[in-house]
């Protein structure tokens, strides 16, 4: 798409999906409801590095790559490439054809040609090839002979494909998060958020929905059996007791067999770098994460 329509990598990846800028903005807002975007934001990122565009941050590029299901590097493929100045890269590029990294079709064709030759014909071909290298041609022949002998002793790489693993529980949905902590000046306190969890394999990515106080919470968890472990971060209310302070730490929860409750403890740093801990639980509310459903939980806490 980039070559056909002469567009940059960000536009090309979107066109390859057949999406408009508005569709990308809607999918972004649905996946990250606490950080909604408009089609104008998508346009600014696509116009970059032009003078009318805005430079996307690493976080933005990572989220776009998640939407387009590509590598983050694919979104910067039109950027400058200075690898030619690196000797190691040049050496690797020169050896790529010998390693079979250039064109699988060409490698298969060469293998068919070798299979059709007699041994003395192969020897003559190798002799002609090494003659082009000039003096000291015995060395390349010995190396090639040793490599072929070693390759003949190696087991075949072909292995039966493993049977696909049965999918585990899907924890994607809206959850109610509640944690307990003790304030040095106010005593026991409780924090609550509605959080959208999205599952990607064993990983759970959580982001809180808009809160009446402006507090924002993010979770990154990994599911292993009936245990969810990971990290949390919160930016507190800008007008509250902690005045927009940012806190972060670790979290470990036990998953209820029903798959609709998780309970455990958090650990994090408080004031004066004191390590604090407290209870934390997540309770399932709704499996749907469409914009219509998610909006119902905006500003409810």
Residue 45 pLDDT > 60, yes or no? yes
CA atoms within 13 Å, Cβ hemisphere of 233: 6
Which residues in the chain belong to E strands, given as ranges?
173-183, 187-200, 203-208, 216-224, 227-235, 246-255, 261-269, 275-286
Task: Assign 24 to helix, strand or coil.
Answer: helix
Helix axes 9-17, 58-68, angle to 10 degrees: 30
Q: What is the mean pLDDT of residues 96-114?
A: 60
pLDDT value for 69: 92
pLDDT value for 25: 94
Strands 187-200 and 216-224 turn out to be unpaired
- At 223-261, the pLDDT tens digits run 998 999 999 999 988 888 778 888 889 999 999 988 899
pTM over 0.85: no
pLDDT value for 133: 61
Q: What is the mean pLDDT of residues 110-131?
A: 68
| Cα–Cα distance measured from residue 124 to residue 128, given in angstroms and rounded to the nearest whole number | 6
Residue 101 pLDDT > 60, yes or no? no
| Cα–Cα distance measured from residue 48 to residue 75, given in angstroms and rounded to the nearest whole number | 12
Contact at 8 Å (CB) between 28 and 37? Answer: yes
**Please, which residues have CB within 8 angstroms of residue 131's CB and are 6 or more apart in sequence?**
137
Contact at 8 Å (CB) between 53 and 70? Answer: no
If 0-12 CB within 10 Å is exposed, 13-18 middle and 19+ buried, where does residue 28 land? buried
pLDDT value for 175: 93
Higher-pLDDT residue of 137, 190: 190
Residue 272 pLDDT > 80, yes or no? no
Highest mean pLDDT among 5-9, 35-39, 80-84, 293-297: 35-39
| Cα–Cα distance measured from residue 44 to residue 67, given in angstroms and rounded to the nearest whole number | 17
Measured CA to CA in angstroms, residue 48 lies from 43, 55, 77 at distances of 9, 6, 13
- Nearest Cα neighbor of 151 from 103, 114, 194, 204 is 114
Strands 203-208 and 187-200 turn out to be antiparallel
Average pLDDT along the chain: 82
pLDDT value for 3: 77
Binning pLDDT at 50, 70 and 90, where does residue 163 land? low
């Amino acid at each position: 798409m980039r070559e056909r329509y002469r567009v940059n990598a960000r536009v090309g990846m979107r066109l390859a999906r057949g999406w408009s800028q508005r569709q990308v903005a809607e999918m972004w807002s649905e996946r990250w409801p606490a950080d909604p975007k408009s089609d104008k934001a998508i346009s600014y990122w696509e116009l970059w590095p032009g003078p009318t565009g805005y430079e996307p941050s690493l976080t933005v590029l990572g989220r776009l790559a998640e939407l387009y299901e590509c590598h983050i590097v694919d979104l910067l493929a039109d950027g400058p490439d200075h690898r030619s100045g690196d000797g190691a890269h040049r050496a690797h590029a020169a050896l790529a054809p010998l390693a079979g990294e250039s064109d699988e079709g060409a490698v298969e064709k060469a293998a068919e040609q070798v299979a059709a030759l007699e041994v003395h014909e192969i020897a003559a071909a190798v002799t002609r090839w090494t003659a082009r290298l000039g003096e000291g041609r015995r060395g390349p022949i010995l190396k090639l002979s040793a490599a072929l002998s070693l390759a003949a002793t190696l087991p075949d790489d072909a292995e039966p494909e493993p049977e696909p693993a049965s999918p585990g529980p899907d924890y994607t949905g809206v959850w109610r998060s509640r944690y307990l902590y003790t304030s040095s000046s106010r005593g026991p306190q409780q924090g609550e958020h509605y959080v959208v969890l999205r599952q990607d394999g064993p990983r759970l990515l959580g982001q809180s929905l808009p809160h009446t106080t402006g507090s924002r919470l993010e979770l990154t968890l990994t599911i292993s059996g009936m245990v969810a472990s990971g990290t949390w971060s919160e930016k507190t209310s800008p007008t509250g007791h902690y005045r927009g302070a940012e806190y972060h730490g670790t979290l470990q929860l036990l998953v209820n067999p029903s798959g609709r409750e998780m309970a455990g403890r958090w650990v994090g740093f408080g004031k004066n770098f004191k390590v604090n801990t407290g209870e934390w639980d997540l309770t399932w509310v709704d499996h749907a994460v469409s914009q219509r459903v998610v909006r119902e939980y905006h500003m409810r806490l």
